[in-house]
């Protein structure tokens, strides 16, 4: 039984000639090319003979035969090329889809120049805590008498208590408990000094008694 497929023809050429697969494919292509030329030449001679017998025979018959022979030859050549290049004949492999990277949601930036939130209100000490703190500051000041306090901080309108009542206020005015004895000594040496002048002298000296 004659070989029908391109693969069978290649194997037959290899078996007869002892050549490699590539050489057998080349020989098969050359034989197919020669066969096509011989067939085309034979058809031309046949058409010429028919044209001599029948001058008025249509030319399209020759063209159709040549076209059919060419189409069959192209199919055989395409099959041989696929066998010669198995990589090209293989179906293309689809690339795997690339993973989708999630886009992070941007965090809104705080507005420029935005007003800060309300500050926490200071914790007001209880009455007992205020009394204990007053006793502690009085001890730091050297436990002065009411007259000594009045001499340094001034006297209220009632003429009894100092004009600046709490040690916290006295520290804000410039003469805290730590500097009371120094201010008292300056006041005794200069009785005409008022509180503002006395506080300025204390600030300049920077000494703590």
| pLDDT tens, residue by residue, 158-202 | 888 888 888 999 999 899 999 999 999 999 999 999 999 999 999
Structure-token pair, residue 111:
């507005």
Dihedral angle over CA of 127, 129, 132, 138, nearest 10:
-80
In the numeric block, the tokens 């040496």 are attached to: 189
The pLDDT tens digits for 26-49 are: 888 888 787 777 777 777 676 565
Neighbours of 116 (CB within 10 A): 5
Q: Kindly give, in sequence order, each residue whose CB lies less than 8 Å from that of residue 181, ignoring residues fewer than 6 positions away.
A: 141, 142, 209
Query: Cα(117)–Cα(81) distance, rounded to whole angstroms?
Result: 80
Range of weakest confidence among 15-29, 92-106, 189-203: 92-106
Residue 117 has pLDDT above 70, yes or no: no
In the numeric block, the tokens 């004009």 are attached to: 163
């Amino acid at each position: 039984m004659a070989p029908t497929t391109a693969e069978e023809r290649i194997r037959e050429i290899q078996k007869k000639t002892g050549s490699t697969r590539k050489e057998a494919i080349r020989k098969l292509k050359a034989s197919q090319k020669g066969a096509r030329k011989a067939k085309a030449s034979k058809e031309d001679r046949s058409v010429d003979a028919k044209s001599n017998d029948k001058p008025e025979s249509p030319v399209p018959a020759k063209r159709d035969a040549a076209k059919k022979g060419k189409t069959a030859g192209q199919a055989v050549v395409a099959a041989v090329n696929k066998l010669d290049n198995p990589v090209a004949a293989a179906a293309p492999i689809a690339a795997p889809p690339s993973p989708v990277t999630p886009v992070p949601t941007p965090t809104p930036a705080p507005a420029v120049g935005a007003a800060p939130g309300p500050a926490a209100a200071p914790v007001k000490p209880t009455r007992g805590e205020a009394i204990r703190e007053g006793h502690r500051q009085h001890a730091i000041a050297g436990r002065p008498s009411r007259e000594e306090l009045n001499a340094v901080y001034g006297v209220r309108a009632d003429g009894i208590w100092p004009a600046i009542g709490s040690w916290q206020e006295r520290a804000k005015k410039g003469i805290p408990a730590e500097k009371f004895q120094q201010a008292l000594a300056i006041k005794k040496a200069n009785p005409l000094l008022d509180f503002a002048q006395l506080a300025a002298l204390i600030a300049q000296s920077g000494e703590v008694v």
